[in-house]
């Protein structure tokens, strides 16, 4: 249960622990520190994904982990939830201004066979000039590639801001890096391509490993190189 801290979450968590037993309820918070009462009955994860230092710690934890860090999996759940809230809030504010807006969840909006989605947060971010693609097929912004995207498309005419072409991947800059390829534990990523099926199988394995959390189909070892937290160039 994410967002357990806060009045409704706190009451709901205790009620769920009571009904389904403590060890069957995992709660998380992202901003306010949990009370002792919330921390004690069962597993409690606490990750504030809005703090830069916390994101750095999560990246470091995944670097150190021989498998995938639990923090990475929890941060995934928290970030997806945060993105949904931000998009909903923006949509509501824009609606008050008479502007229609549409968004999609951060993930799980893809075809499970082709592993392709009809909505690409990376493309929206690229068009908006936020970053450039790395060898690992992810978008690297000035804050790196270890974060996650949400995107909102709005029905309004805006003055376009100029997009500054900037290389952030060392492989495309001067060929001096291929860490993402070397870091991939299953060989899904090569200089030529990303084997999406192989990558997804690995992510589902990780989900099964963290069976006590929600759907955590993650891995992200390729996102831990010199471009993790900023431009590598
Ligand atoms: C399907 C999917 C997967 C599949 C397939 C991965 C893939 N690379 O296609 C699987 C399950 C394997 C997967 C794995 C992972 N994923 Co994933 N995934 C998605 C999802 C849901 C849809 C992607 C998609 O099919 N889009 C549609 C296709 C057509 O476009 P695209 O691939 O997004 O982008 C292409 C175009 O932009 C085009 N392009 C190239 N140059 C340019 C230039 C311009 C100007 C434009 C417009 C386009 C363009 O090439 C891009 C790459 O092929 C997105 C969320 C979303 N809905 O956007 C997350 C998403 C791509 N995943 C993400 C992440 C973080 C991961 C993992 C690290 C897992 C994890 N969290 O631990 C791994 C990384 C694997 C890797 N190296 O790419 C992030 C990427 C963040 C980033 N910084 O780029 C996203 C955006 C989720 C999010 N909300 O942040 N994922
Ligand atoms: S790890 Fe190196 S090669 Fe891979 S995307 Fe980042 S900078 Fe590029
Ligand atoms: S997410 Fe993991 S399995 Fe997929 S390409 Fe990156 S390192 Fe390889």
Average pLDDT over residues 64-77: 95
Q: Please choose from 227, 228, 233 the residue to mutate so as to test ligand 2's pocket, defined by most ligand atoms within 8 A of CB.
A: 227
Residues 108 and 37 in one domain: no
Q: Please choose from 171, 230, 231 the residue to mutate so as to test ligand 2's pocket, defined by most ligand atoms within 8 A of CB.
A: 171
Tell me, yes or no, whether 144 lies in a domain. yes
Instruction: Tell me what pLDDT residue 225 has.
Output: 98
Tell me, yes or no, whether 91 lies in a domain. yes
Residues 67 and 163 in one domain: yes
Number of domains the chain is built from? 2
Residue numbers of the domain that contains 180? 52-223
Residues 96 and 34 in one domain: no
pLDDT band at 137 (very low <50, low <70, confident <90, very high): very high
Residue closest to 149 by CA, chosen among 131, 134, 135? 131
Residues 206 and 163 in one domain: yes
Q: Is 63 helix (H, G, I), strand (E, B) or coil?
A: helix
pLDDT band at 121 (very low <50, low <70, confident <90, very high): very high
Residues 173 and 211 in one domain: yes
CA atoms of 196 and 198, how far apart (whole Å): 6
Residue closest to 101 by CA, chosen among 112, 111, 89? 89
Instruction: Tell me what pLDDT residue 124 has.
Output: 94
| Closest listed ligand to the CA of 118 | 1
Residue nearest to atom 4 of ligand 2 (CA): 180
Q: Using a 6 Å cutoff on CB, does residue 181 contact ligand 3?
A: no
Tell me, yes or no, whether 121 lies in a domain. yes
Q: Mind giving me the DSSP string for 125-167?
A: HHHTT-EEE-TTSSEEETTBSSS----EEESS--PPPPPPP--
In ligand 3, the atom with minimum distance to the C-alpha of 223 is: 6
Residue nearest to atom 8 of ligand 3 (CA): 184
Residue 41 has pLDDT above 70, yes or no: no
Instruction: Tell me what pLDDT residue 50 has.
Output: 80
Q: Please choose from 147, 175, 177 the residue to mutate so as to test ligand 2's pocket, defined by most ligand atoms within 8 A of CB.
A: 177
| Closest listed ligand to the CA of 138 | 1
Element (H, E) at 101: strand 101-103
Residues 210 and 141 in one domain: yes
Tell me, yes or no, whether 232 lies in a domain. no
Least confident of 45-59, 61-75, 133-147, 212-226: 45-59
* Residue 118 or residue 42, greater confidence: 118
Tell me, yes or no, whether 211 lies in a domain. yes
Tell me, yes or no, whether 142 lies in a domain. yes
Element (H, E) at 200: helix 196-209
Residues 89 and 138 in one domain: yes
Q: Pairing mode, if any, of strands 101-103 and 152-154?
A: antiparallel
Q: What's the pTM value of the predicted model, to 2 decimals? A: 0.89
Given its phi and psi angles, is residue 18 left (phi above 0), alpha (psi -120 to 50 degrees) or beta? alpha
Residues 81 and 166 in one domain: yes
Average pLDDT over residues 97-106: 95
Residues 65 and 33 in one domain: no
Residues 122 and 192 in one domain: yes
Instruction: Tell me what pLDDT residue 3 has.
Output: 63
Residues 137 and 170 in one domain: yes
Residues 87 and 26 in one domain: no
């Amino acid at each position: 249960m994410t967002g357990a801290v806060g009045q409704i979450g706190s009451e709901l968590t205790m009620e769920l622990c009571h009904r389904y037993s403590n060890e069957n309820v995992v709660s998380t918070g992202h901003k306010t520190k949990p009370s002792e009462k919330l921390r004690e009955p069962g597993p409690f994860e606490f990750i504030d994904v809005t703090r830069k230092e916390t994101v750095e710690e999560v990246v470091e934890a995944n670097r150190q982990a021989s498998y995938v860090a639990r923090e990475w999996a929890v941060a995934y759940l928290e970030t997806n939830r945060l993105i949904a809230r931000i998009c909903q809030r923006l949509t509501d504010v824009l609606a008050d201004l008479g502007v229609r807006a549409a968004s999609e969840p951060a993930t799980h909006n893809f075809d499970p066979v082709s592993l392709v989605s009809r909505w690409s947060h990376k493309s929206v971010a690229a068009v908006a000039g936020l970053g450039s693609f790395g060898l690992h097929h992810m978008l690297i912004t000035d804050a790196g590639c270890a974060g996650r995207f949400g995107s909102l498309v709005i029905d309004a005419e805006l003055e376009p801001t100029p997009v500054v072409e900037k290389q952030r991947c060392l492989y495309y800059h001067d060929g001096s890096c291929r860490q993402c390829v070397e870091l991939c534990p299953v060989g899904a990523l090569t200089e030529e391509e990303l084997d999406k099926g192989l990558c997804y199988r690995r992510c589902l394995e990780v989900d099964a490993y963290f069976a006590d959390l929600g759907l955590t189909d993650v891995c992200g070892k390729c996102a831990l190189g010199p471009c993790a937290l900023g431009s590598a160039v």
